[in-house]
Structure 1
């Protein structure tokens, strides 16, 4: 299915959910159960549970946001996942999205493998600046959600938490986005005992605008 086509909400009964996930691999789970499956078909099923009784997700479920954001990114020329189906699950305030994953390797994987060459960091900095110039504020922008595709393009995954603004991001929002990025990066590098050329990334970002 093309990402620009409307994807309508469909009821998914518990028996159908169990059938759909037979032979699949659980990629992520929490105290409430599995959150992300990789199905035998290669597709990904991501489950969104609304934890609070009243929140913005009451009126705009996370799975719906995920789909809309993927479609807007695609229309903007940013590589991302390809939504296939939008599900309403039997569990209260729970939705899901079935999608084709974005092929490639995350920046996190490149960092763990020691493959963050200067040219890649410079290219990554240009990509982040491109997002900001397009008015894309991705609250979950971090090295686990940025993908380098086999065609050497950059793309985004896990795109539910995102807003699109009419103008380029303000300096305040840019710095807030970088603080979020750096906070995740520090935890990641401490856990995996790897290095990331943070200063080079910021220098590359600034140079891209000169």
Structure 2
């Protein structure tokens, strides 16, 4: 039962409020159409939801937009936190500067190095290895290739030994005068004997 304006004014003149008149009209419509109440309820629910959405939109516009980075920081698992804060492995830093001489290090000779060692007297290689170990451990020296360092060591040792032998060897281009003794005491004794012999010799003239 939909009421027109005249009917609403009539009911209002009889002391019925406008809202009561509207409600009376709604009840009349419900009696005519049982589904009208459900439609009206859905309409009211929709209007209420739209009003809530509009109010929320107004509040969001007046408020400063949140900074997602600082207001909602990403959560990290314990494993991710440890990985991100852990330094680089120390082994990589060691490889760039070399490593100390291992305690069980033993020389490995190449063919060229073996030829050098074969020309050395007995015990010379063991002495050079001991010297190399002392040199390597002194002041915490490090090397990327200790085998290559030892091959350089024995090559230098062989070169120094050859230079020493050449220095100690007499110069063949300037042989010493064998008629004159090298020892000054021997030369003095021979001179004394020569003077004595000259003084005691008979005068043949």
Q: Which has the higher contact order (CA 8 A, sep 6+)?
A: 1
Q: TM-score, normalised by structure 2?
A: 0.20
Structure with the bigger percentage of strand? 1
Structure with the bigger percentage of helix? 2
Q: TM-score, normalised by structure 1?
A: 0.20
Which structure has the larger Rg?
2
